[in-house]
Structure 1
Amino acid sequence: IDLHGATGKTVMIYGQTEVTLDLMNARRAAGLTSVYEAEHVNPIDFDTDRPRLSYVKDGVTHEIDCDFIAGCDGFHGISRASIKPAAIETFERVYPFGWLGILAETPPVSHELIYSNHARGFALCTMRSTKRSRYYVQCPLDDHIDQWPDDRFWDELKRRLDQKAADELITGPSIEKSIAPLRSFVAEPMRFGRMFLAGDAAHIVPPTGAKGLNLAASDAHYLALAFREYYDEKSSAAIDAYSAKALSRVWKAVRFSWWMTSMLHKFPDNGDFGARIQLAELDYVVNSKAAAASLAENYVGLPY
């Protein structure tokens, strides 16, 4: 799929650990304080005009008076967990399989990402650099990485690739290996008084559409603009609009990730009919300019 030809944009692979490192370095260079390894973090009175945040560091309890609290603390963080159940609604779909992924110090098999729909299950070939590769195969949720020595993984990956890619694949010892379950999850709303949810604290998408970090960045973008307007222009309009604006983009990305997942994975209850529908969908996407453009527009990321 010609992403640039269809959209005028390209995809940047910006690893989450690299984003974190760059942000940490920028914050340090600006002389701003960051507190790491805090325990018992607790947002307090965020539904009032005087929110606070308490935490324990090195055995000492601290409390911060806040204007606002941004809950960017991930799916398992305290921010969403602090909200009364009656005030929040969640939507979830859990997929009946996982991704077994490995990282290897081997050159990527292709300079393009390869997505594979195979009778044995989904596979993905991607890269981290010109010398480091990331590969995935669909596997049962109850599998354990001990069941997948490197040789078995490489053999299975080759089975799910076209012959040219299988022949050109360079294998090597894995430096990281894990199995990740796939789920779609959205929490609504994303604002609770003076506390805002952003990123994985508010939503999770299966990695098929590569939208997780992209969505976190768009949430941060909307929230930063809202805070700037509040302090510079003394207007709360963007703050009041944050949840609706963010969720509009979130649900479109959730739809795209669900669609990619549905098109490319082997589902236990799809049967022969479902498999033929997937092939027809893939054929349409590859050979229709309109369908390819739709995939490209969503893959590079919808406008903020």
Structure 2
Amino acid sequence: MADNITHHFITSFFLIGIPGLQDFHCWIGIPVCLLYALTLLGNSIIIVTIKLDPSLHQPMYFFLCMLAMNDMALASSTAPKMLGIFWFDAHWFEFNICLAQMYFIHTFCIFESALLVSMAFDRYVAICIPLRYATILTTPMVIRIGLAGMVRAILMVLPCPLLIKRLPYYTKYIINHAYCEHMAIVKLASANTLINRAYGISVALSVMTLDLGLIATSYIKILQAVFRLSSKNARSKALGTCAAHICTILVSYTPALFSFLTHRIGKKVPPSVHIIFASVYLLVPPAVNPLVYGVKTKQIRDRVLGLFFPNRKILEN
């Protein structure tokens, strides 16, 4: 332990993994590895498919590309370290590297939320004001929306590591988690952490409240527009274009909300359950999103099948 404490300040953290389930870490690593591999493979296929097919060079698919790249980055910021803990007992994490991981995880999560809002706006424009779709969602506008979401995430999370750096860490160095999560690090400080806690909660609440509110508003407008359509087939087709996005929202926000609530008010929830859900929140959506869009979006499905089975249509005919 002497190597990890200099001048009475902690220089490294010891990540437990999943408390109470240490004997099963080797087995827990298997689904983590599979989810990570599926994330890299599935999102890479989505990106390559959209890039190779000019007919998919549309705002909806540009946002999907951003989502795929963000999902790979989010999974890559967590899964390798988790596997190091579960399979190779690599529990020690240098202080600044731990803060960097925390920063990237939360930045990618907030950017993911911004992308889901952008995709909801895309569906709103496409269904509610289709005649202006091409003039509103131009390629430069899509790029600006993506950059705005990324800048928001970068600036909102930046104070977190800076506020932690000012705190003293004398004796507590064990993090009961599988990755460097903001509140898990803050709790170890040997000082008053009210500012850190208040800022962390305010960021989480503001992002969720604002983004979910914007998404809900978009879909209320979409439903109003859809139910004004006289043709049942037109209504079904319009809602069908939103199916993949709605599934992605549910997959992304449900474990996030559960993790957030259990961390703050679920005092009786075992730590292992909280950490499993916190890990599910980071690993499952990036792996599931490509499957959702591959199955629910006909254009993506047809192009992917065309890439892997180029003679499929010939055989069908």
TM-score by length of 1: 0.28
Higher strand share: 1
TM-score by length of 2: 0.27
